[in-house]
């Protein structure tokens, strides 16, 4: 829920070994990072505020300890293989490196996107040490794989006759778990890893209260709308993307305008 008080931007050893959340060229492990993190003070008492941060990296390390597996192995066995997500990785196999899409950057709305000059973001999945497996970031994969994951959630935890999690787990994950704590100025609520759309948050855009969404570092976003039996996915591979909020709102509006009974 990002209410633990563990932030992303510590000016400490954590940020020195993780150059950016989820991405690094250095030979470190998730265990190394969590051990450093445990030495740091919290930004606030757990539950007192919503602070976006390394919370899911802690969950990732818990998964490793509980399962006895590295996080990439756990994801592959329990999620990727059952769903047929055959091209999703933390670090690309050599034979698939040529399929990696070039990252672009768009600093200003009135300027064209250009090839990104950020070596870390462009190449971490190819040039990284292949040891750091973030619980909260860092996967690369095609839209088709992402769509299978989203369809699984829309289906109540199952896809292609494979039950990944229970329907009740999906229900629990996609309801509000932060009370009245504000999610920035969105007017929306937050579940277990999902932003939950509300009447207030949808005042000026088309949408369905109770639908849920989240996004990725390179301006990806998905929206899952159980009422409309709908998954929307936006991929553009641009970081930063000037005007991203407006672009995503326009995209969702066009999709909802196209729906008919």
For 138-150, the pLDDT digits (tens) are 999 999 999 999 9
Contact 225, 208 (CB under 8 A): yes
99-124 burial, b for 16+ CB within 10 Å, e for fewer?
eeeebbbbeeeeeebeebeeeebbeb
Q: What percent of the chain has pLDDT over 70?
A: 95
pLDDT digits 0-9 by tens, 96-137: 999 999 999 999 999 999 999 999 999 999 998 999 999 999
Using pLDDT thresholds of 50, 70 and 90, give the confidence band for residue 43: confident
Q: What pLDDT score was predicted for residue 12? A: 59
Which token pair is 94?
Answer: 């050599």
Give the span between the Cα atoms of 213 and 223, in whole angstroms.
4
Q: What pLDDT score was predicted for residue 14? A: 66
Using pLDDT thresholds of 50, 70 and 90, give the confidence band for residue 7: confident
pTM for this model (two decimals) = 0.94
| Summary mean pLDDT of the chain | 94
Q: Tell me what the mean pLDDT of segment 208-223 comes to.
A: 97
What is the set of domains in the chain, with CATH numbers?
A: 1-94+135-140 (no CATH), 142-261 (3.40.710.10)
Using pLDDT thresholds of 50, 70 and 90, give the confidence band for residue 13: low
């Amino acid at each position: 829920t990002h209410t633990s008080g563990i932030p992303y931007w510590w000016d400490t050893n954590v940020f020195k070994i993780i150059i950016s959340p989820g991405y690094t060229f250095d030979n470190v492990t998730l265990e190394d990072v969590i051990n450093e993190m445990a030495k740091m003070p919290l930004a606030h008492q757990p539950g007192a505020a919503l602070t976006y941060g390394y919370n899911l990296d802690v969950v990732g390390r818990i998964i490793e300890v509980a399962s006895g597996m590295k996080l990439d192995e756990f994801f592959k066995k329990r999620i990727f293989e059952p769903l047929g997500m055959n091209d999703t990785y933390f670090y690309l196999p050599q034979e698939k490196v040529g399929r990696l899409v070039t990252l672009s950057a768009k600093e200003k709305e009135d300027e064209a996107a250009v090839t990104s000059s950020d070596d870390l973001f462009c190449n971490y999945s190819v040039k990284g040490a292949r040891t750091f497996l973030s619980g909260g970031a860092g996967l690369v994969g095609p839209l088709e794989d992402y769509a299978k994951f989203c369809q699984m959630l829309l289906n109540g935890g199952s896809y292609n006759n494979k039950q990944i999690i229970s329907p009740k787990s999906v229900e629990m994950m996609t309801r509000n778990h932060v009370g009245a704590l504000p999610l920035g100025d969105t007017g929306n609520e937050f579940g277990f890893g999902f932003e939950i759309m509300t009447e207030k948050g949808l005042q000026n855009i088309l949408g369905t209260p109770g639908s849920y969404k989240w996004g990725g570092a390179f301006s990806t976003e998905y929206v899952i709308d159980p009422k409309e039996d709908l998954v929307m996915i936006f991929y553009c591979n641009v970081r930063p993307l000037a005007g991203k909020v407006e672009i995503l709102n326009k995209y969702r509006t066009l999709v909802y305008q196209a729906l008919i009974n």
